[in-house]
Amino acid sequence: MFKSLKSWATIPITIHPFGGFDGAGDIVFMSDVPSECYAEHRVKVVTDRSGKEVVSNTTIYIDATAYNISDHDDITFEGKRRRIKSLDAFYDGNIRSIWVVHI
C-alpha cells in the first residue's frame, strides 16, 4: 500500500520549515524545501496542535523518508501558502513511512 501511495506522490509542493522566532516574536522560516505529494480535496474536522477542532479542506500525503515535517511548518500547495492544521503519519512496522498533512 505504501509503495503505491508513494508512487502517486507527483504533485509539486514547497515546504517552508519553521525556524523559530525573531526578536519581535514573528515567525522565521528556514530555506524552502521542494517536495512532492499526493492530495485529496475533502472536508474533515481535525484537532490542531492547541487542541481546538478546525476544518481541513485538503489532506496531502508526503513521503516521510524524504523530509521530517513539523506541524509548525507552512506548505505551498497549488500556488497558495497554507498553515498545517494537523499532522499524522502512517507507519510501516516501526518506521514512519508517510506524513498525512491536513491543511
Burial of 37 (0-12, 13-18, 19+ CB in 10 A): buried
Question: How much is the pTM?
Answer: 0.88
**Rounded CA separation 58/56 (Å):** 6
Cell 519553521, residue?
Answer: 18
The pLDDT, as a whole number, for residue 6 is 77
Q: Are 102 and 44 in contact (CB under 8 A)?
A: yes
All structural domains of the chain, each given as residue ranges with its CATH number in brackets, are 2-102 (2.40.10)
Q: What is the pLDDT of residues 13-68, one digit of tens each?
A: 999 999 999 999 999 999 999 999 999 999 999 999 999 999 999 999 999 988 88
Q: What is the pLDDT of residues 64-100, one digit of tens each?
A: 988 889 999 999 999 999 999 999 999 988 889 999 9
Grid cell, residue 89, equals 503519519
Grid cell 526578536 in the structure block, residue:
23
